[in-house]
Structure 1
Amino acid sequence: MAVSNRLKNQHLLWRAGFGPMAENAAALDTVSSKDLWKLLEKTSAKKPDKIEVAQNLADGLYKGIMDVAQMQNPETKREQQKKRREQSRDDLKNLNILWLEEMINSEAQLREKMSLFWHGHFACRVINSYFQQELLQIIRENALGNFKDLLIAVSKSPSMLQFLNNQQNKKKKPNENFAREVMELFTMGRGNYTENDVKEAARAFTGWGYNLSGEFEFRKNQHDTNSKTVLGKTGNFDGDDVLNLLLEQKQTAKFITKKIYKYFVNEKVDDEKVEWLSSRFYKNDYDIKKLMEDIFTADWFYEEKNIGTKIKSPIELLAGIRRLLPMEMENDQSQLLFQKTLGQILFYPPNVAGWAGGKTWIDSSSLMLRLRIPQILTANDVMDIQPKADDDVQMGMMEAGAKKLKDAVKGGTAKTDWELVAKIFEQTPREKLLQKITATVLQTKAHVSDTLLEKYLNNASRENFTKSAIVNLMSTPEYQLC
């Protein structure tokens, strides 16, 4: 297919952000991709406001620790600890919802999309809401900055030091967990270092920890001051030295670039492109924004083989629906339930390697729910004009999580601003309306035939036609791709 200007721009918005927004979707036919990229850069340039759910660690944790320390009654101590964990979990839910809203509504689309990528790259699962909040701010502030700064700041964050057990890393009794993951997952990738490199690096990271105020602290008396040999170099290295040694390796630039290519361009890696990009990333001293510019302004990025080939993550799916269909949410819990049932809860990665992505997002049960989400969200307005569910297609089964979800959000979960959506298509003549809606909603060449689709659409009015066309198209397997 000839790649239209609209398709190119939507491709850029889906990959460098969370898809087109109702307010700007109409303009995508005429603006150039280069100008759109400049706009994405500009709107993501300023420092992000902090998303805050916990004021400070002193109130939330330190006083709690002091109180607990003074308590002799083990039962009271257990009760206090339980309450603190519950409060942190509630705060994490709020942090999740607030960040998701930022992804949907912020004009800094590029920054938030890059932040979501780094959130998976630096996967961290701790229940402490203050630690997670501070780590998220580090990621959002450095998402388009310098990878070196980002790596050092994340490595020194109490959240990561706790998650990877470096608080327990002391001289004569080194804990290798942190050093291993820094090499395997954050910088070089497996197979590019030896077990001895991990052992020696772990000694260099001894003494790295955090204090009761939740700040990084280097505890000199717990640091191994003897000589270490890491990646062929010998010296009295500390943690900063090891991170610098890792950044000196061209393999680190290659590992990061390849991961970014798979996430933003195509799961099928073009080794030649990655070689070129990583070489420039290394020469540009790990400038993340320049790397993304190299990708998003390249002609090859807009080739047909890269468009509509990526399976949307649950967060991309939810954010994308809500950007094109502006909604006033009536039930925030539904957002968390969707994430849980679809397998991507912000701040709860499945393991230290983060979410695998790609085809792992889809199985028979999650696909069933994915196809239902547009209808569940817009039920107040559009559910009455949907065709009856055919149980043969459902195979007599409804995924348990989806049933629970449906019960939780019964009666619709959002109020959609359909007037704003209608404005996208106000210049489109009626006979071309379905074609234009399809081109706006889907990124794929293949889709349900117009003839078949027409059978399920509400022709009572132009507005009803538009509503039913969008919701039905969003409920197809093709909408799962971007």
Structure 2
Amino acid sequence: MEISNQLKNQHLMWRAGFGPSVEQLSDLPKYAPEKYFKALLKASSQEPQYINVADENLVSLYDQLQDANKRKNFDEMKRREINRMQQAAVRSLNLYWLKEMVTTSAQLREKMAFFWHGHFASRNNNIFYNQLLLHVFRKYGLSDFGTLLREVSRSASMLYFLNNQQNRKGRPNENFAREVMELFTLGRGNYTETDVKEAARAFTGWTANGKGEFVFRENNHDKDAKTFLGKTGNFNGDDVLNIILEQPQTAKFITKKLYTFFVNDQPDETLIARLADDFYNSKYDITALMEQIFTSKWFYDEKNIGTRIKSPVELLVGIQRMIPMKLDNDYALFNMQKILGQQLLYPPNVAGWAGGRSWIDSSTLMMRLRIPQMFNDKDELNVTPKQDDDVMMGRKSDGTANVPMKPAAAPQKKVYGAVEASINWEQYINRYAKIERDQLLGIIRQQILQVSTPQVEQTISKSLDLSSRAAFIKSATVQMMSLPEYQMC
């Protein structure tokens, strides 16, 4: 079957971004995907602005907390107030980034940042650490993996999340060193326990100050010789990262992770091996690898289109890009993330989100199918949230599943408030002005769904509003987005 430029470009926009925007609908059929990708790359080439949501009051109080003399005057109530302000600021950062995903033309940059923030999973309630790490993902997400790895490894957010501030000569803490290899670079089975111990010694003294700046405490560093991945020397943390980057296995591990996220959940080992060789030889040039993927013919094969389940964030952002809207209750979007099991900046554990079929269960699927109607009808969020996973950092002893150590209490149904969205239907409806009435439903289906299911039109026909052309377009769009097929991209 010949695949149209429109479908190919929609596929590209869902994978290299968060779905096509309403403004792009008329352009999708006009350009070859290679040209469309070049435009995406150009739009994402500028360095992003630093996102700062911390207000002056919080900054002032936090600065005082870092001063040993002023800290003495902080009672428990004042500390709690700072913590409350921090948590509120992290929620604001979450929503700010979500809106950026919806509105920005730098779709590729934000999608890469979104990927890396799941790969280098880290969570804490310090807004300053969160802002700094998010900027790393957005600034270096399309650079080279070596630079990105070093920046993340020196970030306060990651160092504290993985307890490296406790890593000292004579009392090594292995958490950071282990996860750098197991989850971030080499993958399980490609290093030994001795390598973990020796790497931990090399990372002794790596920490950060209260402002989030990297600090090397030389007095805490183990200066004796270490043997790591077959090499011996007086290694420090940077040396360990360089040795890791010298391993072709690192390129293979990262390439496979990128492939299963951006191309297909089912890895093509032959393709991945070829991509990994090129990635390694390019000195880990992320942009070159993504260009190779997104401009290849095989990326647009039928087997790769409409085969991924949208993550909660992709789902929420994609709807808002297609149907422009303003939410009077912004925190409804934050609560939807929580209900569906993916909060930005708050991964379930150090392994990040499992993705794929884990996004869907009986409760989340029903919620997903309700969301378009909730936006349209200003419905209430009255649901049972998914449980948070923070047991053993979400890992069994073999590092795979996330199973609680003891039975958890059943979550209770909560009312999160109304979803108050003001939709700009006029902008959306105008895109269909030149389409004949008898062709409308088919065109809407093609632009909304990535899955080829012509019988969908018959399925929703009884639910359409036939009172006017505008009402027909609105109801058809909402009904299409409320189908199980819309969950795929």
The two structures have a TM-score, normalised by structure 1, of 0.92
Partners of 2:90 and 2:64 lie apart in 1 by 20
Partners of 1:470 and 1:236 lie apart in 2 by 63
Deviations 1:382-421 (A, max 9, x none): x8xxxxxxxxxxxxxx843499676611xx5111111111
Q: CA deviation at 1:50?
A: 1.1
* Equivalent residue, structure 1, for 2:471: 464
User: Please, which of 453, 456, 459 is the counterpart of residue 449 of structure 1?
Assistant: 456
* Equivalent residue, structure 2, for 1:262: 260
Flag the 1:3–1:83 CA change in 2: closer, same or farther, 3 A. Answer: same
* Equivalent residue, structure 1, for 2:417: 408
Deviations 1:13-34 (A, max 9, x none): 0000000101111211112111
Partners of 1:144 and 1:203 lie apart in 2 by 31
Partners of 1:189 and 1:2 lie apart in 2 by 39
Q: Confirm or deny that 1:335 pairs with 2:342.
A: no
Q: Say if 1:443 and 1:479, in contact at 8 Å, map to a contact too.
A: yes
* Equivalent residue, structure 2, for 1:28: 28
* Equivalent residue, structure 1, for 2:273: 275
Give the secondary-structure state (helix, strand or coil) at the position aligned to 1:209.
Answer: strand
Deviations 1:367-389 (A, max 9, x none): 00000000001115xx8xxxxxx
Which structure 2 residues correspond to residues 412-427 of structure 1 after superposition, within 5 A? 412-427=419-434
* Equivalent residue, structure 2, for 1:389: none
* Equivalent residue, structure 2, for 1:392: none
Q: CA deviation at 1:78?
A: 2.2
* Relative contact order, higher structure (CA 8 A, sep 6+): 1
Q: Say if 1:58 and 1:213, in contact at 8 Å, map to a contact too.
A: no
* Equivalent residue, structure 2, for 1:352: 350
Partners of 1:4 and 1:292 lie apart in 2 by 22
Q: Say if 2:128 and 2:211, in contact at 8 Å, map to a contact too.
A: no
User: Please, which of 306, 312, 323 is the counterpart of residue 314 of structure 1?
Assistant: 312
Amino acid at match of 1:47: E
Which structure 2 residues correspond to residues 184-203 of structure 1 after superposition, within 5 A? 184-203=182-201
The worse-fitting range, judged by mean Cα deviation, of 101-110 and 399-408 is 399-408
Q: Say if 1:207 and 1:219, in contact at 8 Å, map to a contact too.
A: yes
Give the secondary-structure state (helix, strand or coil) at the position aligned to 1:290.
Answer: helix
Partners of 2:60 and 2:461 lie apart in 1 by 59
Q: Say if 1:16 and 1:109, in contact at 8 Å, map to a contact too.
A: yes
Partners of 1:470 and 1:70 lie apart in 2 by 56
* Equivalent residue, structure 1, for 2:405: none
After superposition, the CA RMSD in angstroms is: 1.8
The worse-fitting range, judged by mean Cα deviation, of 422-431 and 343-352 is 422-431
Partners of 2:277 and 2:34 lie apart in 1 by 23
Which structure 2 residues correspond to residues 351-370 of structure 1 after superposition, within 5 A? 351-370=349-368
Partners of 1:274 and 1:445 lie apart in 2 by 27
Q: CA deviation at 1:449?
A: 3.2
Give the secondary-structure state (helix, strand or coil) at the position aligned to 1:348.
Answer: coil
Amino acid at match of 1:215: E
The two structures have a TM-score, normalised by structure 2, of 0.91
Deviations 1:286-333 (A, max 9, x none): 000000001000000000000000000000000000000000111111
User: Please, which of 161, 173, 176 is the counterpart of residue 175 of structure 1?
Assistant: 173
Partners of 2:263 and 2:370 lie apart in 1 by 27
Give the secondary-structure state (helix, strand or coil) at the position aligned to 1:408.
Answer: strand
Q: CA deviation at 1:427?
A: 1.9
Amino acid at match of 1:293: E
Flag the 1:60–1:255 CA change in 2: closer, same or farther, 3 A. Answer: farther
Unpaired segments ≥5 residues, structure 1: 384-397
Partners of 1:58 and 1:26 lie apart in 2 by 46
Partners of 1:237 and 1:55 lie apart in 2 by 41
Q: CA deviation at 1:79?
A: 1.7
* Equivalent residue, structure 2, for 1:95: 93
Which structure 2 residues correspond to residues 180-259 of structure 1 after superposition, within 5 A? 180-259=178-257
Q: Say if 2:339 and 2:384, in contact at 8 Å, map to a contact too.
A: no
Partners of 2:431 and 2:273 lie apart in 1 by 41
Q: Confirm or deny that 1:297 pairs with 2:295.
A: yes
Deviations 1:430-480 (A, max 9, x none): 111100000000000126532232111011111100000000000000000
Percent identity of paired positions between Structure 1 and Structure 2: 51
* Equivalent residue, structure 1, for 2:391: none
Partners of 1:62 and 1:169 lie apart in 2 by 25
Give the secondary-structure state (helix, strand or coil) at the position aligned to 2:422.
Answer: strand
Q: CA deviation at 1:55?
A: 6.4
Amino acid at match of 1:222: N
* Equivalent residue, structure 1, for 2:404: none
Amino acid at match of 1:34: E
Partners of 2:420 and 2:20 lie apart in 1 by 22
Deviations 1:168-214 (A, max 9, x none): 11101111000000000110000000000000000000011112332
Partners of 1:370 and 1:327 lie apart in 2 by 18
Q: Say if 2:65 and 2:71, in contact at 8 Å, map to a contact too.
A: no
Q: CA deviation at 1:68?
A: 8.0
Flag the 1:126–1:60 CA change in 2: closer, same or farther, 3 A. Answer: farther
Partners of 1:122 and 1:407 lie apart in 2 by 30
Q: CA deviation at 1:58?
A: 6.5
Q: Say if 1:338 and 1:405, in contact at 8 Å, map to a contact too.
A: no
* Equivalent residue, structure 2, for 1:436: 443
| Structure with greater proportional helix content | 1
Amino acid at match of 1:347: L
Q: CA deviation at 1:71?
A: 3.4
Q: Say if 1:330 and 1:414, in contact at 8 Å, map to a contact too.
A: yes
Partners of 2:135 and 2:290 lie apart in 1 by 20
Give the secondary-structure state (helix, strand or coil) at the position aligned to 2:83.
Answer: helix
Give the secondary-structure state (helix, strand or coil) at the position aligned to 1:46.
Answer: coil
Amino acid at match of 1:71: K
Amino acid at match of 1:452: T
* Equivalent residue, structure 2, for 1:17: 17
Unpaired segments ≥5 residues, structure 2: 387-411
Partners of 1:475 and 1:68 lie apart in 2 by 57
* Equivalent residue, structure 2, for 1:44: 44
Amino acid at match of 2:417: A
Q: Say if 2:332 and 2:416, in contact at 8 Å, map to a contact too.
A: no
Q: CA deviation at 1:422?
A: 1.2
The worse-fitting range, judged by mean Cα deviation, of 48-57 and 247-256 is 48-57
Partners of 2:129 and 2:71 lie apart in 1 by 24
Give the secondary-structure state (helix, strand or coil) at the position aligned to 2:184.
Answer: helix
Give the secondary-structure state (helix, strand or coil) at the position aligned to 2:321.
Answer: helix
Q: Confirm or deny that 1:160 pairs with 2:169.
A: no
